[in-house]
Amino acid sequence: MGGMGTTSNPGGGWAVACGGGAGRATSGGCRMANDEAGVATRGTGAEATRRRAALSITPERAGGSAVGRGVAGDPGPAPDDRPFLPFALPAIGDEEAADVVEALLSGWLTTGPRTKRFEEEFADYVGADHAIAVSSATAGLHLALAALGVGPGDEVITTPLTFCATANVAVHLGATPVFADIGPDGNIDPVAIAARITPRTRAIIPVHFGGLPCDMGAIMALAREHGVPVVEDAAHAIGATPPGAADLTVFSFYATKNLTTGEGGMVTCADPALAERVRLLGLHGISKDAWKRYTAEGSWYYEVTAAGYKYNMTDLQAALGLRQLARFPALQGARRALVAEYDRLLDGVAQVTRPPHGPGDVVHAWHLYPIRLDLAGLPLSRGEFIESLRARGIGASVHFIPLHLQPFYQERCGLRRGDYPRAEAWYDGSDTLPSYPRMTMSDVARVVDATRAILAGATPQTGRERGGAGDDGG
């Protein structure tokens, strides 16, 4: 298994450059540096190494998107010929590449034996009874709610501080998302959930923000008291304290996630009937193990028992997932080491609050390293801070623009700024710094040095309007 050091670049030149943007890089914003990277860089030796190195130079790496305008008092970036440090890069190495090629040549392009093995190994890893591999966490969340029978007129409680997929899936089923504000750790507050439960509540979706587990004890006690099922959005939480208390748990294997299959997800649960329903709905609603009809023991006959969806995972994705799972402990170790270094170097930086670690009995997955900035009194907005980082060759992002500030949810649910003050306060000062296993300790030092320089340069000035580019909307 490819061990993952924190002082090297184990993925070689497999560059996926993920831009910053609203909360996460969308599929459009996250691209391979070279469509043919898998072919052009395969092999060993000096020539392959040279090609890999060449391919890792994206326009961003060449400094093509340095758009920072500088801020009041900020002398601007020092001359710096270091390559652009993207906000996120997957840890894909030669072993993953070889496994995907093997799958490709095996004849099983779509759901097959590798998907089945990935489900089994993933279930073992998280300690779940059942695991169903799907095409994305969005698909998994949709299936989870559908399997629970969520439909028109129902309410689904979730946090406003999440990616839109968490709430969109409720809308797809005709239900209404109801937001409950966050607590001081960024996760949904059980007390706020309690205040939102009505006879129409049909599900609660806690999101383990950034990989920090929610207070599942309190949430499950509340849910059981009211007879409401719980679906964990564990898109960020592979590697966190294993889930299990909820009725269903959904993981994401999106390109930036701790374990990636490019696009992909997994639904886990304990109830065999619920697992069967998720599996059935995820593949057109056709009877059990539909893929087996193409095997020697399979039969041509099948029955459609529900109008299901087409949300299955392919064996190409599963090949990637199996290799990533084998490397996962090392990948997580690398993430934890980066977090420790960030914590150490940011200690004492006046305007920066470091992310919470949670209580001692939980394991944080550290999908994100979200700092909060206290910029009161400085002529610097959060948007300008991020632009200044970019001007210094560093990608950063924001997690998340709360959903009640998004036009669709404002209109659909009659929401506006002021409705969820804690999520708004979090958002207003939030900046997620790059943190992923391919980074080195000197990358972390570079990000912290840039952060210190920007904050130190942004000295209070009088008579100056704050710049429009720092307007984060909302």
Contact 183, 202 (CB under 8 A): no
Q: Considering only 163-171, 268-276, 322-330, 371-379, which stretch makes contact with ligand PLP by CB under 6 A?
A: 163-171
Give residue for tokens 């239900």. Answer: 175
Contact 411, 467 (CB under 8 A): no
Q: How far is the CB of 461 from ligand PLP (least distance, A)?
A: 37
Asked if 233 touches ligand PLP (CB under 6 A), the answer is yes
Q: Which of 383, 360, 414, 435 is nearest to 69 (CA)?
A: 383
Chain residues 121-140 in contact with ligand PLP, contact rule CB under 6 A: 136-138
Q: How far is the CB of 153 from ligand PLP (least distance, A)?
A: 24
Minimum CB distance to ligand PLP smaller for 233 or for 424: 233
Q: How far is the CB of 264 from ligand PLP (least distance, A)?
A: 7
Q: Which residues of 225-263 are buried (b: 16+ CB within 10 A; e: fewer)?
A: eeebbbbbbbbbbbbbbbbebbbbbbbbbbbbbbbbbbb
Asked if 166 touches ligand PLP (CB under 6 A), the answer is yes
Minimum CB distance to ligand PLP smaller for 34 or for 397: 397
Asked if 260 touches ligand PLP (CB under 6 A), the answer is no
Is 257 in the active site? Answer: yes
- Selected from 92, 144, 235, 339, the binder of ligand PLP by CB under 6 A is 235
**Secondary structure letter of residue 367 according to DSSP:** S
How many angstroms separate the CA atoms of 258 and 436, rounded?
A: 8
Asked if 436 touches ligand PLP (CB under 6 A), the answer is no
Binders of ligand PLP: how many residues, by CB under 6 A? Answer: 15
**What is 212-231 written as a DSSP string?**
PPP-HHHHHHHHHHHT--BE
Q: Considering only 146-154, 233-241, 428-436, 451-459, which stretch makes contact with ligand PLP by CB under 6 A?
A: 233-241
CB atoms within 10 A of CB 148: 22
Asked if 384 touches ligand PLP (CB under 6 A), the answer is no
How many angstroms separate the CA atoms of 89 and 434, rounded?
A: 9
How many angstroms separate the CA atoms of 156 and 332, rounded?
A: 32
Asked if 204 touches ligand PLP (CB under 6 A), the answer is no
Rg (CA), the chain: 23
Asked if 163 touches ligand PLP (CB under 6 A), the answer is yes
Q: Considering only 12-20, 232-240, 330-338, 385-393, which stretch makes contact with ligand PLP by CB under 6 A?
A: 232-240
Minimum CB distance to ligand PLP smaller for 66 or for 171: 171
Two tokens at 433?
């710094």
Q: Which residues bind ligand PLP (CB under 6 A)?
A: 24, 136-138, 162-163, 165-166, 207, 233, 235-236, 252, 254, 265
**Hey, which residues are catalytic here?**
257
